[in-house]
Structure 1
Amino acid sequence: MTKRANPWSIVALLFAVAVLNYFDRQSLSVVAPRMQAELHLSDVGYGHVVSLFLLASAFAYALSGFVCDALGTRRSMALFVAFWSAAEAATAFASSVLLLGIARFCLGLGEPGLWVAAPKAVGEVLDRTRRSLAVGIYTAGATMGAIIAIPAILAITTHLPWRSIFLIDGAMGLLWVPVWLWIYREHPRSETIAPAATNVFRDVIAQPQMWQLLIARGMTDPVWYFYLFWFPKYLLSDRHLTASQMAHFGWMVYLAGGIGTIVGGSLSGAFIRRGLDPGIAYRRTMLFSAFAVLVSPLAYLSPGIGMTMLFASVVAMAHMSWLTNLTSTLLEVFSPQQLGRAAGLIAAGSAFGGMLSSEIIAYCLTHGGYRPVFIAMGLMHPIAIVLLWTAFRAKPRGEMQVPVVGEALVAGDAN
């Protein structure tokens, strides 16, 4: 009998690839000033490139669930990571704005698959009392990637051409793929049997919770996209930080985001262990986050860079706590048969929201500056929690579900 992989080794791999995922996303924003100068690209043009990435992400999110359900977690994850790593490497050879846009569009087609397959992997290998923590851990990898991206990319591109960072990023992703295939093949995948004559896609889109969660992600994920794609530019252009100052301060907000994923997952997990219904535990934790992001305008209004980073860090921490619990909510609302498609469709809302916000931000910068942007970043979560209030419920009783393989066994195996 083949020995099963420790479930937490799977979580560790998800953490590692999430680091790579966000390192790849952050790479363009860190080298943006040099890239814009070489390609003669304005802020509006830069916004269009970001929008292309997010447009591709929107389509990819919607389709990734079908791919994941068809190929399974193991093979689909390998496909997603290999594709986006190749696209990241191709960015190094973009000699025009058109080629840059194509490369980032392809990156957007590949990267979303991680965030569709990862919740399925967690649902397959861990019991419900530890899933929110696992989601928090691998989501923290995203913020870790953003943390290390700024100082690492600045250090690398000080000694090497700025284009080389894309080749390095792509190579690291391609090296991850065989490790994943080797480890995950030893862990049995949950087998789900959809009820006969049931249209899974129809059932997913018929659920009001799907639309509530989709709209909520479309409203709130632009906050994180702002900190990924625009905040480094804000620090360099409006706050006039030097490269060394960026290396010293720029990572702080992303560290706070990483802490938020762990705190958010741990807090809701503690509520569940004390007997609170999982959906209510997630809602309560997200309510705390919605109040915390209200400090966003203070990040712009603060005269000193220290206070700017402090308030920006509070917003990032609150958002990532929010996102961890919103993602965990999917595991309670949707059945295993529905999860891949539901996760993909809901995440598509994130990409469409980010694409729209990118165009709005670019317009604001051209006609007025960052003030309205920071104000808007503080209002999205409070509005979204109102829209989500009735969405936090478990799967309907009597719905046909197949228990996750290992649900009862993991507790004895994961030491």
Structure 2
Amino acid sequence: MSLRWALVGLLFLASVLNYVDRQTLAILAPTIQKDLGMTDPQYAMVNNFFLVAYTISYLVSGRLTDKLGPRKALALYISFWSVANMLTGLSRSLVSLSAFRFLLGLGEAGNWTTAPKLVSEWFAAKERGLAIGLYTLGATIGATIAPPLILWLASTGHWQNAFFATGAAGLLWLVPWLLIYRSNLSPAPITSPPAPSPGRSSLTGKEESRSELSPRPGTPRSEGGGGRGQVVVGLLLARLLTDPLWYFIQSWFAKYLVAERGLTQQQVSITWVVFLAADFGAIGGGWLSGVLIKRGMPTVAGRLRVMLLCACLTPLTALIVLSPTVNGALAFAMTVTLAHMAWMINGSTLVTDLVPKEKLATVFGLVAAGSTLGGLLMNSLVGNTVGAFGYRPTFFALSGLHLCAFALLSLALKKR
């Protein structure tokens, strides 16, 4: 296996740890809420502390990653969030739990600004979708194994054990990362295709699309700042509108199954099947757009084609709450989670396609900040309304957001 794929493998493992650490609180929420005397609005507030820090970190960590490079940056981030996760096990009040989750958010966002920068430096356009899909698969694998793993760790003594063990695993990850990705390593140059002929659109001209959007070892062809700004805003709004679905599945879906479907905390381990579906979305989304590009479709058009298909599946979100059975609700949740993950992979890959690599982590952090802002809004709305209206309005509201985001993103790219 080549070095670059070995690095993607380590990014995959980092993403597994990232999501196991993140999911620990959601899985143990009923127990922790009872132990610390927390209400649902207070639980939402704890999640928002995490997301506020996550947003701040996206804005800062991208610039820091561009300055330090992927090797040093990711070692710093994973060390920080692993220690913060272990400290969470020491929480004995709402204040301390909120503080430690804030620290976790400061560290965890760096994983998602470092990984795409590494991919942009080491992979060509036709391989980027698969590479991003593979390390993002780590997130969904982490979310898949988290329910049974966390419940088992908590059952060995107290819920604090789960935080101690998962945090320690992150520190162990540093050993292969620093050994394999040595400080004197740099990516091999990636050959750019010939320059495009004049007058061809990046959405319709195959030659221009490939030249403009493939990885570049040097400075890319410049374009108007306004055009690039519109693309960044479009990508940011797309994340803001659509990622609340993913945050809801992570933080609230297990609680929904307990509150309205009558499952016990042990029974919610069945949610692993939802995250298993996300695994297939992570790989399938990147693979499918890569196939379209290899067959001659312009790069941006290939990504958008897959995103449109995904957007057409997400209205099934409303059927989760309308299904008469738990199995039916799980089946619809699996479908929309798969679709969302494939959507997100292609949206993330668009950033690596369109942004110069020397600015990639900074721009990716800015775009991803839209994701956490959407999560903050979702948490606030759900935390304050679920007691009065139940979960149904939330599922209905989430069902149409991807189609709206696709329309906005398409408009931004066409103007470009």
Taking structure 1 as the reference length, the TM-score comes to: 0.89
1:208 counterpart = 2:230: yes
- Tell me how far apart the structure 1 counterparts of residues 227 and 177 of structure 2 sit (CA, whole Å): 32
Alignment of 1:222-233 (within 5 A): 222-233=244-255
Which amino acid counterpart does residue 337 of structure 2 have in structure 1? A
- Tell me how far apart the structure 2 counterparts of residues 258 and 392 of structure 1 sit (CA, whole Å): 28
1:321 counterpart = 2:319: no
Cα 1:61–1:175 change in 2 (3 A) is same
1:309 counterpart = 2:330: yes
**2:27 equivalent in structure 1:** 30
Alignment of 1:129-144 (within 5 A): 129-144=126-141
Q: 2:362 aligns with which of 334, 341, 344?
A: 341
**1:275 equivalent in structure 2:** 296
Which amino acid counterpart does residue 396 of structure 2 have in structure 1? I
- Tell me how far apart the structure 2 counterparts of residues 147 and 10 of structure 1 sit (CA, whole Å): 22
Which amino acid counterpart does residue 188 of structure 1 have in structure 2? S
Alignment of 1:13-412 (within 5 A): 13-185=10-182, 187-189=185-187, 207-247=229-269, 249-392=270-413
Percent of aligned pairs with the same residue? 40
Cα 1:318–1:138 change in 2 (3 A) is same
**2:210 equivalent in structure 1:** none
Which amino acid counterpart does residue 152 of structure 1 have in structure 2? L
- Tell me how far apart the structure 2 counterparts of residues 284 and 17 of structure 1 sit (CA, whole Å): 30
Runs of 4+ in 1 over 3 A off after TM superposition: 189-195, 202-206, 390-394
- Tell me how far apart the structure 1 counterparts of residues 160 and 318 of structure 2 sit (CA, whole Å): 35
Q: CA deviation at 1:338?
A: 2.0
Cα 1:312–1:118 change in 2 (3 A) is same
Which amino acid counterpart does residue 245 of structure 1 have in structure 2? Q
- Tell me how far apart the structure 1 counterparts of residues 347 and 245 of structure 2 sit (CA, whole Å): 15
Q: CA deviation at 1:392?
A: 4.4
Query: Relative to structure 2, which stretch is displaced further, 237-246 or 34-43?
Result: 237-246
Q: Is the 8 A contact 1:5 1:184 kept in 2?
A: no
Which amino acid counterpart does residue 233 of structure 1 have in structure 2? K
- Tell me how far apart the structure 1 counterparts of residues 226 and 106 of structure 2 sit (CA, whole Å): 22
- Tell me how far apart the structure 2 counterparts of residues 321 and 187 of structure 1 sit (CA, whole Å): 31
Listed as ranges, the gaps of 5+ residues in structure 2 are 190-216
Listed as ranges, the gaps of 5+ residues in structure 1 are 397-415
- Tell me how far apart the structure 2 counterparts of residues 219 and 68 of structure 1 sit (CA, whole Å): 26
- Tell me how far apart the structure 1 counterparts of residues 229 and 396 of structure 2 sit (CA, whole Å): 32
Q: Is the 8 A contact 1:204 1:338 kept in 2?
A: no
Q: How many equivalent residue pairs?
A: 387
Which amino acid counterpart does residue 235 of structure 1 have in structure 2? L
Cα 1:259–1:351 change in 2 (3 A) is same
SS of match in other structure, 2:346? helix
Q: Is the 8 A contact 1:23 1:169 kept in 2?
A: yes
- Tell me how far apart the structure 1 counterparts of residues 226 and 66 of structure 2 sit (CA, whole Å): 14
Q: Is the 8 A contact 1:283 1:392 kept in 2?
A: no
Cα 1:148–1:137 change in 2 (3 A) is same
